[in-house]
């Protein structure tokens, strides 16, 4: 599993010459309501084992949570399930708000 920092992810998302990753947000619904990135696939962490087949294991997947801990656990799980290119958003949505989008609501 690779770690990706928020500015690196922002650059990746802005570069439309590269295949775009699946943005897997594993936070709870109330957290998504507070702030989220556009175009996410929302699968709460506790449902990932039941729903991971909804994701394309051959695509890049960036796993997102609040600070990066839950997403790291999910990223490791996905790798064990055969996903070939999994990235953990280090610092999570809080890191994104601090370094990429300071106007984003923080909690």
Query: Catalytic positions, please?
Result: 65
Q: How far is CA 50 from CA 43, 64, 90, in A?
A: 10, 18, 25
CB 31 within 8 A of CB 66: yes
Which stretches of 1-107 are assigned E, i.e. beta strand? 2-4, 22-25, 41-42, 61-64, 86-89
């Amino acid at each position: 599993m690779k770690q990706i920092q928020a500015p690196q992810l922002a650059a990746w998302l802005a570069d439309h010459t590269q295949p775009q990753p699946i943005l897997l947000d594993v936070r709870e619904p109330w957290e998504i309501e507070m702030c989220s990135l556009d175009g996410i696939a929302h699968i709460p962490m506790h449902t990932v084992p039941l729903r991971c087949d909804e994701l394309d294991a051959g695509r890049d997947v960036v796993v997102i949570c609040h600070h990066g801990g839950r997403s790291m656990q999910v990223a490791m799980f996905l790798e064990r399930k055969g996903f070939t290119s999994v990235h953990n958003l280090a610092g999570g949505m809080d890191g994104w708000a601090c370094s990429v989008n300071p106007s984003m609501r923080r909690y």
